[in-house]
Amino acid sequence: MTATTTTPTNTAPRSGALTGAWPLFRKEVLRFWKVAFQTVAAPVLTAVLYLLIFGHVLEEHVQVYPGVGYTSFLIPGLVMMSVLQNAFANSSSSLIQSKITGNLVFLLVTPLSPVAWFVAYVGAAMVRGLTVGLGVMLVTLWFAPLSLREPLWILVFAALGAGMLGSLGLIAGLWAEKFDQLAAFQNFIIMPMTFLSGVFYSVHSLPAFWQTVSHMNPFFYMIDGFRRGFFGVSDTSAWLSLAVVGTSFLVVSGIALQLLRSGYKIRS
């Protein structure tokens, strides 16, 4: 995408780094909310179908944690998967759509700072991800009971996971020049990392090699830490998960901010 206008720079005063972030955030939230049937209801339905299929097939054959049925085990994984996928989809699709249609030029001529861009796009992505996740949880509670043993972990990992994937979606949206490239990013990076993160199984049930691979996947720590909040047990230490997810969030956010400051692929 080329433009003859300026890119988001640090020309705005430091005290006004977030000036304009609220209107852009509101616009991004309204963008997905106006088509909520597609952006919220459809992902909830997809998660419920996963639950019906896997829960029906494996409920009587798999027990991961003592006293926890497989369907109950599966629900937090599906909730977190929905949060991650939809947070990524919101920021990435919004940015690539603005680039392709030419609407991005109207943001480039504003005095928005890179921080304001980041806060607005990632904040809206978090809202969509958490909204879909809440919808999945409310619907799936009809199928199996859930306890809230350590609810603080639920909030922490949901927020960090949504923020990280919103930031990653921002990077993907800046990098991609057409929807095909964005789809490749999602299909070959986001989807494999999500499905190999322990959503449908405990990593302890895997062969040693695949356990090692899983422990190199930051998505595993998001889902495992999130699940810890419901059952009070997890495949690894919740504090280790917090360290990995927190570090990953800071790294991805830093990259996204640096790309915005440099005007990567949005500057002529």
Q: What is the per-residue pLDDT across 141-196, written as a single tens digit (0 to 9) for each?
A: 888 888 889 999 999 999 999 999 999 999 999 999 999 999 999 999 999 999 88
For residue 9, give the nearest of 268, 264, 193, 261 by alpha carbon. Answer: 261
Token pair for 244: 């990995």
Q: Angle 238-262/151-175 helices, nearest 10 degrees?
A: 30
CA dist., res. 44 & res. 244, Å (int): 28
What's the whole-number mean pLDDT along residues 117-139?
97
pTM, rounded to two decimals: 0.89
- pLDDT tens, position by position, 197-231: 989 888 888 888 888 888 999 999 999 999 999 99
**Number of other CB atoms surrounding residue 61 within 10 Å:** 7
DSSP H helices, the chain, are 21-33, 36, 42-58, 70-101, 104-108, 114-140, 151-175, 179-185, 191-195, 208-214, 218-231, 238-262
93: Cα separation from own chain's centroid: 13
Q: Is the pLDDT of residue 72 over 60?
A: yes
